[in-house]
Amino acid sequence: MSISEDGALHRDHPPTVFFDGASSRRRIVRLVFADTLEISETDAASVCWVYDDIREADSPPGMLRVSCLSAPVLARLEVRDTALAAELRSRCARLGENRIDGRAIAKIVGWSLAAVVSIVMVVLFAIPFAADRLAPLVPEALEKRLGDASDVQIKAIFGSGVCTNAAGQAAYAKLLNELRRTAGLDTAVQSAVVSTKVPNAFALPGGKVYLFSALLEKARNPDEIAGVLAHELGHLKHRDNMRGLIYNGGTSFLIGLLFGDVTGSGALIFASRSLVTASHSREAEENADSFAIEVMHKLGRSPKPMGELLFRVTGKEGDSSLTLMASHPLTEDRLKRMSAEDRPPSGPPLLTDKEWAALKAICDEPAKK
Amino acid sequence: MNQMNWVPLHREPPQPPPSSVSFTGNRGDFIRLVMRGAALELVTAGFYRFWLATDIRRHLWSNTLIDGDTAEYTGRGKELLIGFLFAMAILVPIYLAYFLVSVEAERFKGFASFPLILAFYAFGQFAIYRARRYRLTRTVWRGVRFWMDGSGWAYAWRAVLWGFLVILTLGFALPWREAALERYKMRHSWYGDLQGSFEGRGLEFFKRAWWLWLAVPFAIVLFPLFPFVYAQFKAIEWRWWLSGIRFAAVRVESKLPRAALIGLYWKVIGWYALACIAVGIYFAVCAGIVAALHGGFQQGAQPELLKNIPMLVLMIIGYLGLILSLNVVLRVYLLRDVWVAVLESVQVHDIGAAANVTAKGELATALGEGFADGLDVAGF
């Protein structure tokens, strides 16, 4: 049954080469198709391979390379003769079982899609849930440390431009303490006005609130500033920094698992990450706004001036940005909401005219450490 | 393969001529492989990358003909996936610890956490070493595998210390760094019971490439020069690296011309430019069609167009098409074509020493590849 029983035939056909997996010696062999595949080398005992154990290995075009499950792992038989290769193929029913065929690829695609769905579900539902539940469990000491670390960075970025005009500071402290007491926060809250040209205000974990002087300059009455500060105190009260940290860390990690090294996919990852974190942050901002409205009502003041201040700073936003990507609700929507909550003042003004003038002038002295 | 080639080789003439190395793969097959792979990567949100990397290596290895016998890559995509998952399980607590330590450091002094980046650099070098070990143990030739011993951490610290020296000397020490690291890697590389070694000298590399070092500042200013500088540097590096490789008495030599890779880099740039122009035209046409369907926008309608959902969908499709084509171009030219150009420059001397090597060495896990993927580092 062997094709190359005759030595003369050998010369017309490319040789069959066998490597036994124990040494790199190249053995020219003859194949005999008996009950098993007999691989025989001149002057050596023949090796027998069971047909059902034979599997195809990678090979260059024009060669059939096979291995055998019951032989050493790296034993290889290389058949270069087309007729002989066809004969071997016809006898080994399970030759192609190792190959990655359409079904195997469908399986990979299926599992990958399942993984994507699971990641999306975790990002949309599990991580916000975990962030809400875990944030209150973070020890205050750790949160304070986080705040201190970013505080050091902020001081490095903005210099030490903390405004220190004494009368201004007194007015600022009065306003803040009033708000803090109404908001139900303890004296751990620290706050300062920082001299910069960016109109903004923000809260750091562990109870630090910064008001930027440019926002103060644009304000026309104490209620505007009070609303902004109440909003930032809302972030502190809700521990939004910790929630945001857990949420952003978790989603960044999970989304980073996708598209690992696909060149050019950076924009895709960035866009999807911005999309989900923006929606989370919008929700936190809305809650902080609700908190600010509540505090202002308790003080008997209207929240509407805060909306007006924001509108003065940003203008109408709906035309210029993609609403899905925005980290804050649109200013016009915030203004509308706060206008709806507008009530005639029932409490005393938060600052006297003189105190308000002093607060406006808090940065007039040259900044000192 | 003609049988007549074998007979004289097998009788081992007293002074065997150096054997050449060649590549038998079909370029069209490879292009189809990477096109399909890029499409599957998109469909699977990148998870197919493990199988695509495996398929590419299988194609390249099994078509690499050394002294009449082709190599084989026995790694599998599933191993890479498992390695990646294990690496992630280890990296997550490390990232958390890193975060906490950096908070403490920042509290102490602004931006004091910077040195921690160094630890990640070392970890990346460790990953490169372990990933190389994985690939080498999956490389089989004549039924015997290559393998590696040595320690990934010992390698990582060498890489870090040499890296410092390179920074301090503004890149001047780079050739010596590469020589030292290659010596470590090759000393711990084996083919069966044949031990590898590296004979390339840093000075040799320096002599061939020093003028490129001087050209870099000019190339940064006159950036169209940069591909020329980089392609020549890579060609010199390849030639020097290959010519230093030894496995016991087996010597590798490369005669890769300095200009061999310049064309390939310019082709990549050309295709990138074409792809970007094509996508630009596609965006313009889409914008035109969408605007026409909406009965035209007023002047300065860009923001409105950006908020238009069908337009966004069309833009995403265009962007995905761009990513797909860039990945194909990159793999065809900078992986396959570079591989072929480099292989064809190689001659192997005294290959007879590898004719009867005893198999040895254990398989390594794909954990290193997983770390390399998780840390976004690549190395050879």
Distance from CA of A350 to the nearest CA of B (A): 35
Q: For residue B306, give the nearest of A257, A258, A322 by CB distance.
A: A322
Decide if B35 touches A, using CB distance below 8 A.
no
Separation in Å, CA A368 to CA A109, A194, A233: 62, 11, 26
* Tokens (6 digits) for B297: 């926008």
CATH of domain A7-98: 2.30.29
Q: Are strands A27-33 and A37-40 parallel, antiparallel or unpaired?
A: antiparallel
Decide if B298 touches A, using CB distance below 8 A.
no
Q: What is the DSSP string of A172-240?
A: HHHHHHHHHHHHT--TT-EEEEE--SS--EEEETTTEEEEEHHHHHH--SHHHHHHHHHHHHHHHHHTH
**Contact across the interface for B46 and A20, Cβ inside 8 Å:** no
pLDDT in tens, A190-219: 888 888 888 888 888 888 888 888 888 888
- Look at residue A319 and tell me whether its pLDDT is greater than 60: no
- pLDDT band at A163, cuts 50/70/90? confident
Residues of chain A with CATH 2.30.29: 7-98
* Tokens (6 digits) for A160: 């030490």
Judging contacts by C-beta atoms under 8 Å, the chain A residues touching residue B92 are 253
Q: What is the DSSP string of B151-213?
A: -HHHHHHHHHHHHHHHHHTTTTTHHHHHHHHHHHHHHTEEETTEEEEE---HHHHHHHHHHHH
B66 with B144: CB under 8 angstroms? Answer: no
DSSP class of residue A263 equals T
DSSP class of residue B335 equals I
- pLDDT band at A11, cuts 50/70/90? very low
The secondary structure of B273-331, three-state, reads: HHHHHHHHHHHHHHHHHHHHHCCCCCCCCHHHHHCCHHHHHHHHHHHHHHHHHHHHHHH
Q: For residue A22, give the nearest of B40, B327, B359 by CB distance.
A: B359
Distance from CA of B126 to the nearest CA of A (A): 19
| pLDDT attached to residue B102 | 74
User: Nearest Cα to B126, choosing from B158, B169, B91, B79?
Assistant: B158
Q: Which residue of A has its CA nearest to B361?
A: A22
pLDDT tens series, chain B, 380 aa: 344 444 444 544 456 788 889 999 999 999 999 999 999 988 888 889 899 999 999 999 999 999 989 999 999 999 999 999 898 888 888 888 887 777 777 666 656 666 778 888 899 999 999 999 999 999 999 999 999 999 999 999 999 999 999 999 988 899 999 999 999 999 999 999 999 999 999 999 999 988 888 888 888 888 888 899 999 999 999 999 999 999 999 999 999 999 999 999 999 999 999 999 999 999 899 888 888 877 655 544 455 555 677 787 888 888 888 888 898 999 999 999 999 999 999 999 999 888 889 998 888 888 888 888 877 776 66
Candidates B35, B144, B276, partner chain A, best to mutate (most A CBs within 10 A): B144
Greater pLDDT, B92 or A33: A33
Q: For residue A152, give the nearest of B109, B140, B330 by CB distance.
A: B109
**Contact across the interface for B48 and A323, Cβ inside 8 Å:** no
**Contact across the interface for B95 and A253, Cβ inside 8 Å:** yes
Judging contacts by C-beta atoms under 8 Å, the chain B residues touching residue A15 are 3, 6
| pLDDT attached to residue A111 | 92
Q: Give the pTM.
A: 0.82
| pLDDT attached to residue A344 | 87
* Tokens (6 digits) for B133: 């070990």
Contacts of A73 (CB under 8 A, 6+ apart): A21, A67
Judging contacts by C-beta atoms under 8 Å, the chain A residues touching residue B103 are 145-146, 149
For residue A190, list its beta bridge partners: A208
Separation in Å, CA B212 to CA A168, B162, B226, B255, B259: 62, 20, 10, 19, 13
Lowest-confidence range among A157-161, A173-177, A309-313, B207-211?
A: A157-161
A192 with A163: CB under 8 angstroms? Answer: yes
Residue identified by tokens 């699971």 is A118
Count helices and strands in chain A by DSSP H and E runs: 13, 10
Report the length, in residues, of chain B: 380
| pLDDT attached to residue A74 | 93
Judging contacts by C-beta atoms under 8 Å, the chain B residues touching residue A23 are 143-144, 192, 356-359
Greater pLDDT, B199 or A187: B199
Decide if B6 touches A, using CB distance below 8 A.
yes
Rounded CA-CA distance A100/B52 in Å is: 11
- Look at residue A291 and tell me whether its pLDDT is greater than 80: yes
Q: Which residue of A has its CA nearest to B322?
A: A264
pLDDT in tens, A220-261: 899 999 999 999 999 988 888 888 888 888 888 787 777 766
* Tokens (6 digits) for B296: 């035209």
pLDDT in tens, A103-154: 888 999 999 999 989 988 888 888 888 888 888 888 877 788 878 877 777 7
* Tokens (6 digits) for A153: 């960075």
* Tokens (6 digits) for A87: 């004969």
| pLDDT attached to residue A367 | 45
A241 with A149: CB under 8 angstroms? Answer: no
* Tokens (6 digits) for B125: 């070098």
Rounded CA-CA distance A311/A305 in Å is: 10
Contacts of A339 (CB under 8 A, 6+ apart): A304, A307
Q: Are strands A54-57 and A190-194 parallel, antiparallel or unpaired?
A: unpaired
- Look at residue A294 and tell me whether its pLDDT is greater than 80: yes
Rounded CA-CA distance A225/A172 in Å is: 10
Complete edge-to-edge strand list for the sheet that includes strand A37-40:
A47-49, A37-40, A27-33, A16-19, A76-79, A64-68, A54-57
Judging contacts by C-beta atoms under 8 Å, the chain A residues touching residue B2 are 14
Judging contacts by C-beta atoms under 8 Å, the chain B residues touching residue A116 are 44-45, 47
Using CB atoms within 10 Å of the CB of residue B297, give its burial: 0 to 12 exposed, 13 to 18 middle, 19+ buried: middle
Decide if B44 touches A, using CB distance below 8 A.
yes
| pLDDT attached to residue A331 | 87
Contacts of A303 (CB under 8 A, 6+ apart): A227, A292, A293, A296, A297, A338, A341, A342
| pLDDT attached to residue A368 | 44
Q: By percentage, how much of chain A surpasses pLDDT 90?
A: 26
Decide if B253 touches A, using CB distance below 8 A.
no
**Contact across the interface for B41 and A62, Cβ inside 8 Å:** no
Rounded CA-CA distance B268/B275 in Å is: 10
Distance from CA of B318 to the nearest CA of A (A): 12
B157 with B122: CB under 8 angstroms? Answer: yes
**ipTM of the predicted assembly exceeds 0.95:** no
| pLDDT attached to residue A2 | 42
Dihedral sign from CA coordinates of B330, B336, B340, B343 = positive
